[in-house]
Amino acid sequence: MKFFIDTANLDQIAEAQGLGVLDGVTTNPSLMAKEGITGEQNIINHYKAICDIVDGHVSAEVISTDFKGMVEEGEKLAALNDQIVVKLPMIKDGVKACKYFSDKGIKTNVTLVFSPGQAILAAKAGATYVSPFIGRLDDISTDGLNLISEIRHIYDNYGFETEILAASVRHTMHVIDCAKIGADVMTGPLSSIEGLLKHPLTDIGLEKFLADYKKGNS
Ligand code: E4P
């Protein structure tokens, strides 16, 4: 399973990249606003800065909601760097734009997906990635992980090549469960990745190894 980090914070992106396990980055307009990145040129510069830190794909979301606007914005974003994936909302014009970009060989990520039907449409439109939001489903007492299972089952039935990018991951157990189900990618906060490191027996074991070494070498 690929690991993407879901943030526009350059320090956190660099931290995850430094760990050596990062495969890409996802951003959205809320995450950009959280970092205080506003204005077209600053946003563009920020995407470039992210691409300079990571080796993998970087999802950059369009703001337009009509086909023409999405195409214009998406083409501009895609031209910034080969790593850029144009992120499109799961609305009618978003599906049309996805088909347009996939026909042109431009990578896409269809976002705000909450049902298997929406995931089928994204795959039919040739999306590179589909982003089902598991945390936001959990927030409204719906089983987000079940959506990942359903999409996995459907995509495997037909050999759809669209990668399932489990989004809105909130914690480490989401990461592990997505891996068990067979999500192709997960995108989550740095804490969800670093949480995988933790086990008290590792800490206790290391402490004992070091203490025993010290005894024998002092
Ligand atoms: C997806 O790519 C989104 O950026 C993101 O995962 C949404 O997560 P949230 O529900 O925690 O805001």
Per-residue pLDDT of 98-153, as tens digits, reads 999 999 999 999 999 999 999 999 999 999 999 999 999 999 999 999 999 999 99
Mean pLDDT computed over every residue of the chain: 98
Among protein residues, the one whose CA lies closest to atom 10 of ligand 1: 168
**Ligand 1 contacts CB of residue 26 (under 6 A):** yes
Q: What are phi and psi of 59, to 5 degrees?
A: -80, 125
Let me know if domain 2-216 sits in CATH 3.20.20.70: yes
* CA 26 to ligand 1 center in whole angstroms: 8
Among protein residues, the one whose CA lies closest to atom 12 of ligand 1: 168
Give the pLDDT score at 157. Answer: 98
Give the pLDDT score at 218. Answer: 83
The closest-lying atom of ligand 1 relative to the alpha carbon of residue 28 is 4
Give the pLDDT score at 65. Answer: 98
**Ligand 1 contacts CB of residue 136 (under 6 A):** yes
* CA 188 to ligand 1 center in whole angstroms: 8
Give the pLDDT score at 162. Answer: 98
Give the pLDDT score at 103. Answer: 98
Predicted TM-score of the model (pTM): 0.96
The closest-lying atom of ligand 1 relative to the alpha carbon of residue 170 is 11
Give the pLDDT score at 52. Answer: 98
Give the pLDDT score at 181. Answer: 98
Give the pLDDT score at 148. Answer: 98
ipTM of the complex as predicted = 0.96
List the chain residues with pLDDT less than 70. none
**Ligand 1 contacts CB of residue 168 (under 6 A):** yes
Give the pLDDT score at 43. Answer: 97
Name the residue of 35, 133, 184 whose CB sits within 8 Å of the most ligand 1 atoms, as the mutation to test its pocket. 133
The closest-lying atom of ligand 1 relative to the alpha carbon of residue 27 is 4
Can you give the three-state secondary structure of the chain, one letter per residue? CEEEEECCCHHHHHHHHHHCCCCEEECCHHHHHHCCCCCHHHHHHHHHHHHHHCCCEEEEECCCCCHHHHHHHHHHHHHHCCCEEEEEECCHHHHHHHHHHHHCCCCEEEEEECCHHHHHHHHHCCCCEEEEEHHHHHHCCCCHHHHHHHHHHHHHHHCCCCEEEEECCCCHHHHHHHHHHCCCEEEECHHHHHHHHCCHHHHHHHHHHHHHHHHHCC
